[in-house]
Structure 1
Amino acid sequence: MTEHIVVVGAGYTGLAAAKLAAKWTDAEVTLVNDRDRFVERVRLHQLAAGQTLRDLPLADLLRGTRVRLVVDRVTAIDSQIREVQLTDGTLAYDRLIYALGSHADLDSVPGVREHAHTVATPGEAERLRADLAHARVVAVVGGGLTGIEAAAELAESLPHLKVVLVAAGGLGEALSAKARRYLRTTFDRLGVEVREHSRVTAVDADGLTLADGTRAAADTVVWTAGFRVPDLARDAGFAVDGNGRMVVDQALASVSHPEVLGVGDAAALRRPDGLELRMACATGLPTTQRAVRALADRLRGKEPKPFRFAYLNQCVSLGRKHGLVQFVRGDDSPREAVLTGRLAARYKEAIVRGTVLFERHPTMPAG
């Protein structure tokens, strides 16, 4: 009897996983997603800044495959009877690929949910764009790469805005000293004010309250300080870590439910040396290939190859004209080597375009 693989989530890893499962196995494959479009999440700060993104219907990306698309929202997973519950019906599965990704953490600080915007979904980015039309001062909270890219994009595209980046730690503190110097130079050129070591304790309609009691006034707040994953894995009884991410083995199978694979941001994967891999396309795409290849091997009675993974770089857009490529060691720690300026911007754009090319042809090398 033909097995039924259900993939939940059609982001970067879910879409690739469904297409690979249809190509590398004989199983029936169903992909469930709550919208009928593929979202280039890494470009949503561009959408917020007023730019137009490509329209990428999932039906087009799935054309010529054996994948059946179901546009609906997953409401629960019953791991006992192996069933995915949707707003409109249910889907039984023999194997499940859990790829529901992550979303902005809106509940870690009072007022964020009520008063802040994010760039985590197209709808949120479009609401931010509309709000920015009436703003004079925008505060971007979060000193990680998402906050850095958002602040630079807004400052370059909307020069009438005063952009303030508020970071709990240092600006780009995971980057090398040379990269941090370039960031500061670029932000100075763009007019972005940086407030480091400033932890936000509340957000309201007039801006931010900081841990030292001072205020940072803003007409609009963009929240990029942290992401969380859906509670569906925990609620289903799958083993999860303290952040709710599915705990998986070296083949990305759930350690509690081996018929389930976890890929992308919603899975907590560690290398054999114990390094937990970060949430990123640079992690998700190659490890998704690894996961589905291991599944295909096991369905054929073969033992999967040992897991190996190493990082190469981190690519940061700083508007459309400038960029930063931080070269890293295999464990993601920064080297001093960086690529900057227009060449780095072109490099980053090629990487981002390459992710869509990968979704069209997910057997191509991903890292």
Structure 2
Amino acid sequence: MSHRIVILGGGYAGVTAANRIARRLDGAEVTLVNERATFVERVRLHQVAAGESLASRPLRELVRPGVDVVVGRAGRIDLERRQVVLDGGAESEPAPLPYDTLVYALGSVAAPGPDDAVALATADDAWWARDRVAELVAEHGTVAVVGGGLTGIEAATELAERHPAVRVRLVSDVEPGPWLSHRAQGHLRRVFHGLGIEVAGGSVADVRDGSVRLTDGRVVGAGLTLACTGFAVPAVARDSGLAVDEVGRIRVDRTLRSVSHPDVYAVGDAAVPQLPNGRPFRMACATALPMSAAAGAAIADRLAGRRPTGLRFRYVNQCVSLGRRNGVIQAVAADDHPHRIVLTGAVAARYKETVVRGATWFTAHPGPNRPVPRTRV
């Protein structure tokens, strides 16, 4: 019987892992499970929310021949029987998917936020926000973006650049871009000023009746509130009994193998390897791609009877788009601390666009490794 490999999640991490495994292994059955049939460029959702039209690519166009794509949602993992139970919703429950090796790449979801705010974590979120933004353009209305991290900064600048008639307010309890160097933060402030973005400091109490209420009693009016306050991970891993950290990410070793269940690997936002200094990897496409390639290589090596080398990774920079014509490229040390070196302006915007395009290309072409025959598990 062929070795059955099931990958849960069809984002950057899952597609990369599926293609790396299929490229390196002859004779294995590789199945990619995702709740939608198309690939979502999650790093572009702020562009979609601002009104840009982006091409939709079927997953089957991105995966290598021999990778089977199943459209479905993982409800739970039966670790004892080694099978994935899919969520059938209102319909009858689909037959479980058996596996010999499982790759968990379910990524992350929006962290809990105000009930009346829209997150930018899924394609559906971005499409809904796009329609509402179009209404606000006609009304000369206001959009409030809650959160001073990467998603909040990119959403606010994209909206302000594309729709000058819309008033954009960024609400954050920290200085926007707190991980950036002083020079990069200075550029960020200048861009905000040039685009007319208002920054309101403070913590959000709730969002209702077209306004954001802060804990100090202030009220920020808005026809649309985007919650960009971070990410959490699905509960499937924890609920299934895998060893996870305090936020639910699967604990893995250097080869991305679960520390509690050796037939399970985890990659992307849902996994938690450690940097040499003990800091966890950040949830990012830049982390997911090398993790997924390393996991795919480790699985192929073990099935071929070789000792896997494991993940070798260091950070180089962090890219921030500030609309389509501006950006910040922050050079960082191997442990992700910022250097003084910063690239800004139109050159940085082009650099970021090249990185985003390259990430999608890499998912379909994750390395030159030749196929190897399986000898033993």
- Mapping of residues 150-229 of structure 1, within 5 Å: 150-196=155-201, 198-229=202-233
Q: Aligned residue for 1:35?
A: 36
- Mapping of residues 30-179 of structure 1, within 5 Å: 30-62=31-63, 64-86=64-86, 87=88, 88-106=94-112, 109=113, 112-113=114-115, 115-135=116-136, 136-179=141-184
Q: Aligned residue for 1:271?
A: 275
**Structure 2 CA distance, aligned partners of 1:306 and 1:22?**
18
2:135 aligned counterpart, secondary structure: coil
Distance 1:160 1:364, change over 3 A: farther
CA displacement 1:269-294 (0-9 Å, x = unmatched): 11243221100011110111111111
**Structure 1 CA distance, aligned partners of 2:55 and 2:333?**
33
Q: Structure 1, unaligned stretches of length 5 or more?
A: none
Calculate the aligned-residue CA RMSD, in Å. 1.3
Q: Structure 2, unaligned stretches of length 5 or more?
A: 89-93, 370-377
Asked whether the equivalents of residues 146 and 170 of structure 2 are also in contact (C-alpha less than 8 Å), the reply is: yes
1:307 is displaced (CA, Å) by: 3.8
CA displacement 1:72-108 (0-9 Å, x = unmatched): 11111111111101122210001100000111113xx
**Structure 2 CA distance, aligned partners of 1:25 and 1:122?**
33
Give the 4+ runs in structure 1 shifted more than 6 A: none
Which AA in structure 2 matches 1:192?
A: I
1:202 is displaced (CA, Å) by: 1.2
- Mapping of residues 280-319 of structure 1, within 5 Å: 280-305=284-309, 307-319=311-323
Q: Aligned residue for 1:324?
A: 328
Which AA in structure 2 matches 1:36?
A: A
Which AA in structure 2 matches 1:195?
A: A
2:31 aligned counterpart, secondary structure: strand
TM-score (norm 2): 0.92
CA displacement 1:204-247 (0-9 Å, x = unmatched): 12221112122111111000101111100001100111111111
Asked whether the equivalents of residues 117 and 223 of structure 1 are also in contact (C-alpha less than 8 Å), the reply is: yes
Asked whether the equivalents of residues 21 and 296 of structure 2 are also in contact (C-alpha less than 8 Å), the reply is: yes
Asked whether the equivalents of residues 7 and 103 of structure 2 are also in contact (C-alpha less than 8 Å), the reply is: yes
**Structure 1 CA distance, aligned partners of 2:351 and 2:368?**
18
Query: How many residues get paired?
Result: 358
Q: Which one of 355, 363, 366 corresponds to residue 367 of structure 2?
A: 363
**Structure 1 CA distance, aligned partners of 2:144 and 2:227?**
8
Asked whether the equivalents of residues 271 and 307 of structure 1 are also in contact (C-alpha less than 8 Å), the reply is: no
Which AA in structure 2 matches 1:85?
A: V
Q: Percent identity?
A: 49
Q: Aligned residue for 2:247?
A: 243
The structure showing larger relative contact order (alpha-carbon pairs under 8 Å, at least 6 residues apart) is: 2
Q: Aligned residue for 1:21?
A: 21
Asked whether the equivalents of residues 19 and 65 of structure 1 are also in contact (C-alpha less than 8 Å), the reply is: no
**Structure 2 CA distance, aligned partners of 1:360 and 1:298?**
23
1:57 is displaced (CA, Å) by: 0.9
**Structure 1 CA distance, aligned partners of 2:153 and 2:239?**
34
1:192 is displaced (CA, Å) by: 0.4
CA displacement 1:346-365 (0-9 Å, x = unmatched): 00000011011112211169
